């Protein structure tokens, strides 16, 4: 039988393995050329694996969450239109077309003359149809569940006496169970699924006690985030320092630049200003633009300023990196940050886009709150958190005046950064941002 085996391709420089994060197909699915089969993830880049051939999926080589080595077979596809057996090793990644001809030739005598005749190994095919892959016990929780109220209020649940008896014995109120059968009939499978899932699909109206726990497997990016956060918080004693910044002048400048903006210039947010301010500040305090290899006991102070920008994506938190911010002007920083944010969101960010930062900025924009306690992007030693800008009354010595105020919540690795140094750094940022001209003055 002609099969095409798809192996995990080399998905990134120096990557030896990747985590399978999603299957887009299942066994038995027909696929076209370029149908996306799966998504795998390396570091923070997710790569989709397309099908090079047309056919039917026969075998999947990994489960979601599994780490797969580059070069291992992950999918076998029976090539469309060909049903003849082949002596070739199914693992052999041969050309799709060749086995068809070979197979036809070698088995020609046994084959009924017209190729339109169904498979010469019908028993195998039938077997596959009759015995769908047995669902694992856990699979029942992933079963699609009819949403909403199982049936209109007051309507009796529809179920055979045997189902009703089992429900009674299991203590299940069938009024709460959605039925997938005709006319909403509750069958044994529905009851099994309900029991496995717990009674969470209760009628939404009215107050009802809920029991049961939903298990969500932490895989892919979420698992990486979890590991990274746990590492950062368990290894690094954080000190968080919050200072308020008067960004009235900065906002005026920003608005002015955006208003005068030429077509080829990116729209400015507060981030490129902060990036440039950080470049200025770390020039005076190189200890802040560093990574700490605590196992070796070495702090690496970096000459380039590669600024990570924490970004929310549909998949979760990602930190694309603006490389060499020290060599980029305001607009260059802005356009590179915008490009990376888009790339992170649409999944096209490369591994290079997502690694190598030396200091990180985190911002939730309008959701930024008043204060945050940012978690350092290990193994860096500093992270600067941007809170939201608020118009606040400020006493100028004679009266209250409305000023645009913004807090910076910044965390530092207290093992290598003293509170004093942290405060000096943030005060330097404050000075630069409150008098934005200083950011641009050559010294």
Partner 1 sequence: MAGRPEGGEEQHSPTQRTDAMKDISCKLLVIGAGPGGYVCAIRAGQLGVDTVIVDFQKPGGTCLNVGCIPSKALIHAADEFLKVREMAGGSDPLGISLASPAIDLPKTIAWKDRIVGRLNTGVAGLLKKAGVKSVTGHARFRDGKTVEVETETGIQVIRAEAIVIATGSAPVELPSLPFGGPVISSTGALSLSEVPATLAVIGGGYIGLELGIAYAKLGAKVTVVEAQDRILPLYDADLTRPVVKRLQALGVEVLTGAKAKGLSKSKDALLVETANGEEAKIAAEKVLVTVGRRPVVEGWGLKEIDLDRDGRFIRIDEQCRTSMRGVYAIGDVTGEPMLAHRAMAQGEMVAEIVAGQRRSWDKRCVPAVCFTDPEIVSAGLTPDEARQGGREVRVGQFPFSANGRAMTLQAEDGFVRIVARADNHLVLGIQAVGAGVSELSAAFSLAIEMGARLEDVAGTIHAHPTQSEGLQEAALKALGHALHI
The residues binding partner 1 (CB under 8 A) are 156, 158-161, 164, 168-169, 171, 181-185
Give the Cα separation of 358 and 383 in Å (integer): 10
Give the Cα separation of 102 and 108 in Å (integer): 10
**Residues 384, 359: contact at Cβ < 8 Å?**
yes
**Angstrom distances, CA of residue 313 to CA of 190, 221, 222, 291, 349:** 35, 10, 11, 25, 11
Compare residues 188 and 300 and give the one whose CB is closer to partner 1. Answer: 188
Give the Cα separation of 19 and 83 in Å (integer): 33
Compare residues 164 and 324 and give the one whose CB is closer to partner 1. Answer: 164
Supply the minimum distance, in Å, between the C-beta of residue 188 and partner 1. 13
**Residues 177, 167: contact at Cβ < 8 Å?**
yes
**Residues 269, 250: contact at Cβ < 8 Å?**
no
Supply the minimum distance, in Å, between the C-beta of residue 148 and partner 1. 16
> What is the DSSP code (8-state) at residue 380?
B
**Residues 273, 436: contact at Cβ < 8 Å?**
yes
Q: What is the DSSP string of 167-216?
A: HHHHT--GGGS---SGGG-B-HHHHHHHHHH-TTS--SSS----------
Supply the minimum distance, in Å, between the C-beta of residue 161 and partner 1. 6
- Return the active site residues: 414, 418
Supply the minimum distance, in Å, between the C-beta of residue 314 and partner 1. 38
Compare residues 44 and 151 and give the one whose CB is closer to partner 1. Answer: 151
For 321-353, b/e burial (b = at least 16 CB within 10 A) is bbbbbbebebbbbbbbbbebbebbbebebebeb
Supply the minimum distance, in Å, between the C-beta of residue 221 and partner 1. 43
Supply the minimum distance, in Å, between the C-beta of residue 179 and partner 1. 9
**Cis peptide, bond prior to residue 296, ω within 30 of zero:** no
């Amino acid at each position: 039988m002609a099969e095409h085996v798809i192996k995990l391709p080399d998905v990134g420089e120096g990557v030896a393995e990747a985590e399978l994060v999603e299957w887009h197909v299942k066994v038995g699915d027909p696929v076209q050329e370029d149908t996306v089969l799966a998504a795998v993830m390396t570091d923070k880049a997710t790569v989709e694996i397309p099908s090079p051939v047309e056919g039917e999926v026969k075998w999947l080589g990994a489960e979601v969450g599994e780490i797969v080595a580059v070069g291992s077979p992950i999918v076998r596809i029976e090539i469309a239109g060909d049903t003849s057996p082949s002596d070739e090793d199914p693992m052999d990644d041969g050309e799709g077309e060749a086995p068809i001809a070979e197979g036809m030739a070698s088995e020609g005598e046994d084959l009924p003359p017209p190729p339109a005749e169904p498979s010469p190994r019908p028993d195998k095919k039938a077997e596959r149809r009759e015995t769908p892959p047995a669902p694992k016990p856990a699979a029942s929780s992933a079963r699609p569940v009819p949403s909403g109220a199982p049936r209109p209020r007051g309507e009796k649940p529809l179920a055979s006496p045997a189902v009703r008896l089992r429900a009674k014995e299991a203590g299940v109120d069938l009024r709460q169970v959605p039925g997938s059968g005709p006319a909403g009939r509750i069958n044994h499978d529905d009851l099994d699924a309900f029991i496995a899932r717990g009674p969470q699909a209760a009628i939404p109206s009215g107050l009802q006690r809920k029991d049961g726990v939903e298990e969500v497997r932490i895989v892919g990016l979420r698992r990486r985030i979890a590991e990274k956060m746990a590492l950062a918080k368990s290894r690094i004693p954080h000190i968080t320092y919050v200072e308020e910044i008067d960004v009235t002048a900065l906002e005026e400048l920003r608005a002015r630049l955006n208003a005068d903006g030429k077509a080829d210039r990116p729209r400015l947010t507060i981030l490129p200003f902060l990036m440039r301010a950080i470049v200025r500040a770390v020039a005076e305090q190189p200890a802040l633009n560093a990574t700490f290899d605590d196992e070796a006991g070495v702090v690496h102070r970096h000459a380039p300023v590669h600024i990570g920008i924490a970004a929310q994506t549909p998949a979760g938190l990602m930190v694309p990196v603006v490389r060499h911010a020290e060599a980029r002007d305001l607009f260059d920083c802005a356009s590179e940050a915008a490009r990376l944010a888009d790339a992170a969101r649409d999944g096209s960010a490369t591994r290079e886009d997502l690694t190598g930062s030396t200091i990180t900025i985190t911002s939730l924009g309008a959701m930024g709150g008043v204060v945050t306690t940012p978690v350092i992007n290990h193994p860096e030693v500093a992270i600067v958190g941007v809170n939201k800008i608020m118009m606040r009354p400020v006493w100028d010595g004679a009266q209250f005046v409305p000023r645009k105020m913004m807090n910076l919540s910044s965390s530092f690795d207290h093992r290598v950064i003293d509170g004093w140094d942290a405060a000096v750094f943030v005060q330097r940022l404050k000075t630069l941002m409150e008098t934005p001209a200083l950011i641009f003055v050559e010294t």
